[in-house]
Amino acid sequence: MIYETVAVPRIPDPPESKAIMRVPSARTKRRSLEAAAIGLFAASVTGLAGYALTERQGADPVGLVGPEAAAPGEPREELPDVRHKQSGPQQPAATSAPQEPAGQSGTEPAADAPGSPDAQVPPMLDKRSVAQSAARPAARKKSCLKGVATWAYPKSKASIKNSGACWFYSWGPDRAGIAAPKGVEFVPMIHNASRIGDVAKVKNRGHRYLLGFNEPDLGAQANMSVEQALDLWPRLMSTGLILGSPSVANRGEVPGSWLDRFMKGAKKRKLRVDFITLHWYGADFRAKPSARQLRGYLRKVHKRYKKPIWLTEFALTDFTQGTPRYPSQQQQAAFLREATKMLRSEPYVKRYAWFALPTNQSQTGLYNPNGSPTPAGRAFRSASRYK
């Protein structure tokens, strides 16, 4: 067999690509990872700062929301007699109670809310920064502090607004014809045993608080025995409202006094008393000594009963001589400035009410019949509204 040699043509190699694929070095990889990590850290910190700023700027303002003045046509009571410790009680006529707003309610933060210690920490975020953010205290809500005891008079609405009071009461279950600005809270009271039926007028009206009997230790006021007050107390408890003790005229800190026997009886009968209400009138017309005397009295009462205190009547008036003796307007104003600063600083004092708003029946009043403030009224107006 004859083999013939044939020449096979050579296939040329493909031309090289102009784009060359380069393999990154280890050093380049490390630099890329570091840049990505820094970017993620900066984004995390910026996001946390933005969240905190939004939280601070978006905080809801705190204020009391209350009803407007009593509806037109509401029966008006007759004005109480001139007020002093030897006079008859202020007993407003029975009228239908206006609706009041429900109490404020708080909300619990979500379990994993930003700033919470349990929140997931971004991979590149410094955990110490998260801990510091979580440790910052939340903005404290303001609570109503400054109030007035008053009766109806033509300029009541304008006077209450000008005074800056955030609450008031009338010694009765309703406003008794007192006009007040929107947002100022009304607090009802069951004045004495004969007014126990007023309990029905304060139920389901949107109130938060109820004041107990007015000066049961004085014959000219509620004039009740301790046993009588204890027997009637479950009727006040049935309202479901936050309940203040009977407001004694004096000696609240003394063992065996009216308030002391009432509180011991309430404990024995398992009756609820949520806070103590007190009245105080000073016979020393020097501002700073009187404010110190008031503070000493309040501290002793708080130490004895260990409950929050509402001072629901106070002023400088000397009742030790039979006929009431009053200081000058300048002396009253000086005391008011010292006392309101002190009351705001005492943590257990939750509210106070000056006696009284108008001057038409009391020389301690804050506003004249034409609505202009007295020197004491101007001092009261400058006092802080909130705790």
* Topology of the domain covering 146-382: TIM Barrel (3.20.20)
- 140 vs 68, residue with greater confidence: 140
Q: What is the pLDDT of residue 126?
A: 52
Chain centroid offset of residue 198 CA? 26
Spatial separation of the C-alpha atoms in residues 327 and 196, rounded to whole Å: 37
Q: What is the pLDDT of residue 271?
A: 98
What pLDDT digit, counting tens, does each position of 86-97 carry? 333 344 433 333
For the chain, give every domain's residue range.
Answer: 30-59, 146-382
- 216 vs 48, residue with greater confidence: 216
Q: What is the pLDDT of residue 30?
A: 64
* Average pLDDT value for residue range 62-77: 38
- 132 vs 3, residue with greater confidence: 132
What pLDDT digit, counting tens, does each position of 41-53 carry? 665 555 554 544 4
The per-residue pLDDT of the chain, averaged, comes to: 79
% of residues, the chain, pLDDT over 90: 63
Spatial separation of the C-alpha atoms in residues 166 and 147, rounded to whole Å: 6
* Average pLDDT value for residue range 341-363: 98
Phi, psi of 191 (to 5 degrees): -70, -50
378 close to 163: Cβ distance less than 8 angstroms? no
Q: What is the pLDDT of residue 322?
A: 87
Of 90, 91, 100, 93, whose CA–CA distance to 65 is shortest? 100
Query: Encoding tokens for residue 183?
Result: 């947002």
Query: Encoding tokens for residue 384?
Result: 């802080």
Reading across the β-sheet that carries 276-282, which strands appear in turn?
185-186, 167-169, 146-149, 349-355, 309-316, 276-282
* Average pLDDT value for residue range 361-370: 97
277 close to 243: Cβ distance less than 8 angstroms? no
What pLDDT digit, counting tens, does each position of 8-33 carry? 444 445 444 444 445 556 665 566 66
Other CB atoms within 10 Å distance of the CB of residue 131: 12
Spatial separation of the C-alpha atoms in residues 241 and 300, rounded to whole Å: 26
Query: pTM score, two decimals?
Result: 0.68
Residue 301 makes CB contacts below 8 A (sequence gap 6+) with 252, 253, 259, 276, 278, 309
* 3-state helix/strand/coil string of the chain: CCCCCCCCCCCCCCCCCCCCCCCCCHHHHHHHHHHHHHHHHHHHHHHHHHHHHHHHHCCCCCCCCCCCCCCCCCCCCCCCCCCCCCCCCCCCCCCCCCCCCCCCCCCCCCCCCCCCCCCCCCCCCCHHHHHHHHHCCCCCCCCECEEEECCCCCCHHHHHHHHCCCEEECCCCCCCCCCCCCCCEECCECCCHHHHHHHHHHCCCCCCEEECCECCCCCCCCCCCHHHHHHHHHHHHCCCCEEECCEECCCCCCCCCHHHHHHHHHHHHCCCCCEEEEEEEECCCCHHHHHHHHHHHHHHHHHHHCCCEEEEEEEECECCCCCCECCCHHHHHHHHHHHHHHHHHCCCEEEEEEECCECCCCCCCCECCCCCECHHHHHHHHCCCEC
Q: What is the pLDDT of residue 137?
A: 59
* Average pLDDT value for residue range 311-321: 97
What pLDDT digit, counting tens, does each position of 222-262 carry? 999 999 999 999 999 999 999 999 999 999 999 999 999 99
* Average pLDDT value for residue range 311-329: 96
Spatial separation of the C-alpha atoms in residues 365 and 165, rounded to whole Å: 14
